[in-house]
Structure 1
Amino acid sequence: MLKKYKMKIGAKLLIAGVVLISVIGFTDSRQSGEVCKDVVIRIANQYENYYVDEADVLALMTDNGNKAVKGTSFKELNLRDIEQSVEMDKFIKEAEIYKDLKGNLLVKVELRRPLARVIQNQGPDAYISEDGAVLPVSSKYTSRVTLISGDYGRELVKHDLTSTDEGKKIYDLIRYINNDKFWKAQIAQIDIDKKLNVLLYPQVTKQYVEFGKPEDLERKFRKLKIFYDHILPQKGWNTYTRVNLEYEGQIIAE
C-alpha cells in the first residue's frame, strides 16, 4: 500500500515538472519573438530639477534616434547596454530599465540635484551635485544654489569631489551649509583660494567670514552662530567688515 502511495506521489511530481517546463518553454518561445510595444519613462527627483526630460532620456536610449527601441524584438535589445547609455548623462544618477508583462519597456531614472555652482573667469562654470559629482551647466535650466568662486575652482572641477581628500573637505562644507536651514539661507558664496583657505560671503550682512581651511566645521559654525546671535544684535549688523573664525576659542571681528 505504502509503495503504491509513493508511486502516485512520484507520478504527480513528474507530471507537475513536465507541465512547468512546458509553460517556461512556451513563455520563452513567446517572449523571444515579442517586440517592444511602447517606452514608458518615469523621472524621479525632477521637482525644480529640469535638466533632463523624457525626450532627453529617449534620445540617450536611441542614440538620438539612430537606434530603434519601440517595435524592436526584446531578443535584440540589450537592456544593460541601454541603461549604460542613459547613465552617460552626468545629470542622471541611476537608470533602471526592464520589460513589463504588457510588452512595454519601463525606464526609471533618478536625477542628480545640484548643491552649488562653481563660477570661473577662465573656464566653464560647473555644478556640484548632492553626491559630489561635477556636472556641466545647462541652457535648459539654472539652479539657485550657493556659488563657489576663487582660484581653487579650476582644480575643483577636474574630478568628482569625493575622489580626492581636498575635494571631500569642500564637499563636506557644501553639504553642511545645505543641510542647515539657517546657513543655507544665510551664505550666498564660498570663495576658495589655491591653498584651500575659505571665505564665506553672507546674503544679508555686510561682513565676510574668514573661515580658514574647510575643517572643524561644527566648531567654526558654532562660533559664527554666536557672532550672529549675540554680537551683531548689540553692535549693529553692518558694524564689522570681516569676522575671523580660524583661531580656537576666539572670534575676531573688525
Structure 2
Amino acid sequence: MRNIRWSMVFYVFLGLVIFVGLAMLMGLVSKKDSQQLCKELKVVVEGKETFIDQQDISKMIDQKFGSVVGKELAGIKVQQIEEAIEMLPYVSNAEVHLDMDGTMQVTVQQREVVLRVINKAGREYYVDRLGKKVPVTLKYVPHVMVANGNISEGYKQPLEMVESKLVQDLVRIAGHVRGDNLWENQIVQIFVNEQRDIELIPRVGREVLVIGSADSLDYKLRRLEVYYKNILPKVGSEAYEKVNVKYGGQIICERRGNWFIDSLQMKMNMKN
C-alpha cells in the first residue's frame, strides 16, 4: 500500500468520471437532436438572376417531401432534398443545413446565363457560363445579349450542352463583351447571316460589324476599335453599310447605297 501512488489513482479516477460524464451528456444531446422538431424553414436564393425565388423552392419541397415544419430533424432527407433542388434547370448548387434550434436552412445558387439564342425555327433558350442550355421562362427575362438569324441548333431538354461551334462562338462573344466597358455598351445584338458569318449590331451607328467567327476575337475587336477611333470620325456614321474584319490585317468597309468597297490595309503595331 505504501508503494501506491495515490495521486495517480486519483487522476485516473477523475479522468474516468469525466469520460463517463461526457459520454452521457453526448448521449442526451444526440437523443435530444433526434427528437428535435423542425420549427422553421428558411430559404436563401443567391445569384444575379431571379429565375426562381424562396416561394418556388419552399413549394417544391412541400410537394415532393411534404411539409418539413413539425417533422423530427432526424427524419428529414437532407441529401435527397439537395439533389431534387439541383435538378431544377435554374439552379447550379443547393445546400441544406439543420440547426440545433430546429431551423432548416436551404441555400440555393442560381445559374448565370450569358446569352439568349433564337434559332431560325423560332425556338428560344438561354446558355449559361458553362455552355449549358437553360429554358426560357415568362416569369423573368434577364438582361443578356440576344443572338438570332441563321442558327440551326435547337433545344431538346434542360441543361444539355451546346453542340455546334457556331453557338459556342456566340457564347464566347457574349461572354467576352460582358463586362467590357466599350463593347457592352456598344453591342446590342448578335446576328448570323445567310453565309453563317457572325455580325454584331451596334447601339450607335447604322453599320453592321462582320467578324465571321469568334476565332482571333481579340484581334478582330481591336481592328473595330481602330475603325471607331480613326475612321468613323472622318467619314461619319452614314458612310458605310458594313464593316468587315473577318479577314486578317484589314478592315473592309462597304459604302452605303452602292457597291463601292474601301479596303483599308493595316499593319497592327502593338506599340502604337
Q: TM-score range by the shorter chain?
A: 0.7 to 0.9
Q: Which residue of 2 aligns with 1:32?
A: 34
Structure 1, 192-201 or 205-214: larger mean CA deviation = 192-201
Instruction: Give the match's secondary structure for 2:178.
Output: helix
1:46-81 CA distance string (max 9 Å, x none): 5xx3221111011222226x6221111222211111
Q: Where does the alignment leave 5 or more consecutive residues of structure 2 unmatched?
A: 255-272
- TM-superposed deviation, 1:172: 2.2
| C-alpha distance 63-20 of structure 1, shift in aligned 2 (>3 A) | same
Aligned: 1:105 with 2:104? yes
| C-alpha distance 216-155 of structure 1, shift in aligned 2 (>3 A) | farther
Instruction: Give the match's secondary structure for 1:176.
Output: helix
Aligned: 1:240 with 2:247? no
Q: Which residue of 1 aligns with 2:16?
A: 14
| Cα distance in 1 for residues equivalent to 2:207 and 2:222 | 17
| C-alpha distance 103-236 of structure 1, shift in aligned 2 (>3 A) | same
C-alpha RMSD of the superposition: 2.6
1:124-144 CA distance string (max 9 Å, x none): 311222443321111112123
| C-alpha distance 27-84 of structure 1, shift in aligned 2 (>3 A) | same
Q: Which residue of 2 aligns with 1:141?
A: 140
Conserved 8 A contact 2:86-2:94? yes
| Cα distance in 2 for residues equivalent to 1:156 and 1:217 | 26
Q: Structure 1 or 2: larger helix share?
A: 1
How many matched pairs? 251
Aligned: 1:152 with 2:154? no
Amino acid at match of 1:80: Q
Conserved 8 A contact 1:148-1:189? yes
1:193-246 CA distance string (max 9 Å, x none): 698631111122111111112111111111111111111111101211111112
Q: Where does the alignment leave 5 or more consecutive residues of structure 1 unmatched?
A: none
Instruction: Give the match's secondary structure for 1:241.
Output: strand
| Cα distance in 2 for residues equivalent to 1:51 and 1:13 | 57
Amino acid at match of 1:116: L
Larger Rg: 2
Aligned: 1:197 with 2:210? no
Structure 1, 78-87 or 190-199: larger mean CA deviation = 190-199
1:152-185 CA distance string (max 9 Å, x none): 3524777858665725443322210112122111
Amino acid at match of 1:18: V
Q: Which residue of 1 aligns with 2:188?
A: 188
| Cα distance in 2 for residues equivalent to 1:174 and 1:3 | 79
Conserved 8 A contact 2:153-2:164? no
Instruction: Give the match's secondary structure for 1:209.
Output: strand
Aligned: 1:124 with 2:157? no
Q: Which residue of 2 aligns with 1:91?
A: 90
Q: TM-score, normalised by structure 2?
A: 0.82
| Cα distance in 2 for residues equivalent to 1:194 and 1:5 | 94
Structure 1, 11-20 or 149-158: larger mean CA deviation = 149-158
